Amino acid sequence: AALEDVTETTTTAINADSLAEALAKLPQQYARNAIVMASAATVYKSIGTANAGGAYAFNLETGAQGFMGKEVVVNENVSETNLFILDPKEIYVRFSLAPTVEVDTTSGFLSALNTMRALTVVDFAINPSAVVRVKIGA
């Protein structure tokens, strides 16, 4: 699922101002449940960053687990040049193939032993209105 229709913003560095600006671009119905998602390198390099007024980008009192009440989630699948603010309730798993179960009763000498295998194919869909991508280093 491509993220082509998501709202985007750019910043040269992650700080309290750039995160607040990105969060403000998320519609209110999605901002209520929003999380901040970034790679470990992006989060850990940004923990001590502050804006010109001295406000830290992340809340150091709670171990840098939140920004303006939003949980910070480290996800290694996010590149270091992106940070996402999104409502995780707006990510949906789709079953492209209904689950099927196979039973194999030829598991050797134990007649009561059955081997079961399940197979399905899944992908995901996301509501692009519930995502703001922050491009870092632009």
DSSP character for 54? -
> Confidence band (pLDDT; 50, 70, 90) for 1?
very low
| Closest by Cα among 135, 132, 122 to 1 | 122
Q: What is the pLDDT of residues 60-100, one digit of tens each?
A: 555 557 777 788 888 988 888 899 999 999 988 888 888 89
Distance between CA atoms of residues 133 and 7, nearest Å: 6
Distances, alpha carbon 121 to alpha carbons 75, 104, 124, in Å:
23, 21, 11
Tokens of 83: 């940070």
Tokens of 59: 């809340």
Q: How confident is the model over 48-59, as a mean pLDDT?
A: 63
Distance between CA atoms of residues 113 and 73, nearest Å: 43
Is the predicted pLDDT of residue 10 greater than 70, yes or no?
Answer: yes
Averaged pLDDT score across all residues of the chain: 81
Distance between CA atoms of residues 56 and 15, nearest Å: 7
- Please report, rounded to a whole number, the percentage of residues in the chain having pLDDT higher than 90: 20
Burial 33-49, CB ≥16 within 10 A → b, else e: ebbbbbbeebbeebeeb
| Closest by Cα among 39, 50, 113 to 83 | 39
Distance between CA atoms of residues 35 and 23, nearest Å: 10
